[in-house]
Chain A
Amino acid sequence: MFERIKHMLIKEFIQIFRDPKMKGVIFLMPIIQVLVFGYAVTTDVKHVSTAVWDLDNSRASRELAARFERSGYFDILFHPETGETVQGLMDRSEVQAVLHMNKGFGADLEAGRTANLQVLVDGTDSNTAGIVLNYSAKIVGEYSEKILVTRMERLLGKAPSGGVTLATRAWFNENLESRNFYVPGVIAIIVMLITLMLTTMAVVREKEIGTMEQIMVTPITQKEFILGKTLPFALIGFADVILITVIGVFWFHVPIRGNLLLLFASTALYLMTTLGVGLLISTVSQTQQQAMMSSFFFYFPAVLLSGFMFPIANMPVVIQWITYLNPLRYFLVIVRGIFLKGVGPQVLWPQMVALLVMGLAILWLASKKFKKTLS
């Protein structure tokens, strides 16, 4: 039995490495993806291009604008003087935020009245707009607190006491860098994509060229054939996990605080689900195009509904239920837990059990369907 599986494996590897396109898919694609997610895809909001529409031009208004600039989040690039100019800047997306201070801003503050600052943001990108508004609120809050404190000091002759100060600290990802969130996630999505595609392609190609029928008249058993068609891609999946981990840790300095062996063990559980889905797709596909389409039909919803980019907690309840059927969801919790939190099986066991159960169920279903398609 092992002899035959070994020979299937060797044949599969010869075929994969003989095809330059395949080599690209297996090694280049993960590297490109991890570079894209490490460098380009970032939800950090910095250097917001800003215009200051200061009709007051007083000491106070200039100081407030300077505070925005000093925060590091805002780059003041324009000083428009009319509403039309502001409109134009926003229309052409030259600025994402406008600070608008009316005439009398400084005088109001001097006189102890409440002064108004208007912040206009480009709400097209709702995510960024929300973050920009948060930053603004924080800066304005600090500024107004400072004015209050100075005023109190003047009145009381000493600084006021009491009150609450906020001290925040992010655990696990101290600087809230999005690459620390995404790079481990890339492991999960890439391994799914590659193993899913390679398995379906490898099986359906044999159907297409007619070798499947030829193989079926040999004494090879169904189990041997399935193992011979999945083990090579499981090995490639592991190779990709190592490749992405190495790039993530040594190039992007993503922390890896947990146990690497646990990562590999969980990868094995996860591979059972992705290879199982791959086999299942290959039983219903007759051509490689069909297999490709079906794979993507599974892959895109799986990625979108996994928590890779969008938090599952924000999804409608019904959709949240569906995500429980998504193996990617569990594996993402595991990889992020191992990379960033350094937690072990005592925390991650529910996810691991979920993957194991799903993996066994899918493989069982796939091999059952597989048998049917042959006869």
Chain B
Amino acid sequence: MMQPAIASENLSKSFGPVAAVDGLTLSVDHGEIFGLVGPDGAGKTTTMRLLTSIMDPDSGQARVCGRDTVSEAEAVKERIGYMSQRFGLYPDLSVMENMEFYADIYGVPRKGRAEKIERLLSFSNLTPFKKRHAGNLSGGMKQKLGLACALIHTPEVLFLDEPTNGVDPASRRDFWRILYQLLKEKVTIFVSTAYLDEAERCNRIGLMHEGRLMALGTPGQVKKLMRGSIVEVRAARPRQAKEILKKSLPDAEVGLFGDRVHVVTDTPENTEAETIRILSKAGVEVSGARLIEPSLEDVFVSVLGKDGGRRE
């Protein structure tokens, strides 16, 4: 049987008293796109650094491409591509010089290198900007150049740490289009993100919070992990409605999502009617209450809530 592309067991890393990653166990198959989802400070970047052999774990172990990240760090590094959260390129070197530099460092053979660079540049729409200094590229283009540089040595596994952070929506879509193309070429992608809409595009996701993996599975499976169902309430004054419902339904979780109030409950049939009754009594106009499919965001709030993560 083929080894998984990434497999970690009880991986832990602390910085002083803070456990950044706490007993992380997961496995990612070849050709899969796996999303590590969590709020800032959840331990996503540390996880990335542990899996990419930049950092050694305090305990536990991880194998990437079948190699141990500590004892076979060099072998791991030859097989992976990594794009850190920050723009990891030289602003005073041109697009082409950056690509050449990383190709040199990875020891990409001269033969066929030019075609390879050409292909990566056209693939990321950077061909017209070859001579431009990387520092003068737009945010989206920088991101694509970072990706192109991370792919220069044809890695088996690609690690992307919040790749679309601070990139405009059009560029984000573009970036994901490129990622899907890579999947067709059998590259395994491990991406961390704080955007839940991006998480929904992954084959499987892991919800991370305070260093621990709270849920693991396909986006569909993770949504099912959610305790109870969601009743979405549309009210005229949602903020006020939320406060009223919170007081009246102590057992349910009430949260505000945009201009709608979500009520998580085990008894959705009763709740639908009850919310309308409560709000009408309080004089808040209600335009509807209905059962909806949970989004990842709901799951997230629910999972964090269970853990006492909600401190309001």
Contacts and interface: CB of A to CB of B under 8 A. Distances in A.
B90 A7 contact: no
B95 to A, nearest CB: 14
A374 B90 contact: no
B82 interface: yes
Contact of B90 (A4, A209, A219): A209
Nearest to B49: A213
A211 B89 contact: yes
A15 interface: yes
B130 to A, nearest CB: 16
Contacts of A28: none
B109 to A, nearest CB: 11
Contacts of A317: none
A214 B55 contact: no
Given A14-B93, A14-B97, A219-B78, A213 B54 contact: yes
Interface string A268-290: 00000000000000000000000
* Among A8, A216, A220: residue with most chain B CB under 10 A: A216
Nearest to B152: A218
A253 to B, nearest CB: 41
B55 A7 contact: no
A209 B133 CA distance: 14
B180 interface: no
Nearest to B97: A14
Contacts of B257: none
Interface residues of A, number: 23
A79 B86 CA distance: 75
Given A3-B107, A4-B104, A213 B88 contact: yes
A375 B102 contact: no
B84 A7 contact: no
A15 B87 contact: no
A61 B180 CA distance: 103
B105 A215 contact: yes
A211 B92 contact: no
Interface in A194-252: 209-211, 213-221
A218 B152 CA distance: 11
A214 B84 contact: yes
B118 interface: no
Contacts of B55: 375
Contacts of B90: 11, 15, 209, 211
A217 B80 contact: yes
A18 interface: yes
Contacts of B86: 209-210, 213
Contacts of B89: 209, 211, 214
B54 A209 contact: no
B65 to A, nearest CB: 13
A341 to B, nearest CB: 45
B104 A210 contact: no
A209 B105 contact: no
24 contacts: A3-B107, A7-B101, A7-B105, A11-B93, A15-B90, A15-B92, A15-B93, A209-B87, A209-B88, A209-B89, A209-B91, A210-B84, A211-B88, A211-B89, A213-B86, A214-B88, A215-B105, A216-B54, A217-B81, A218-B106, A219-B74, A219-B77, A219-B105, A375-B54
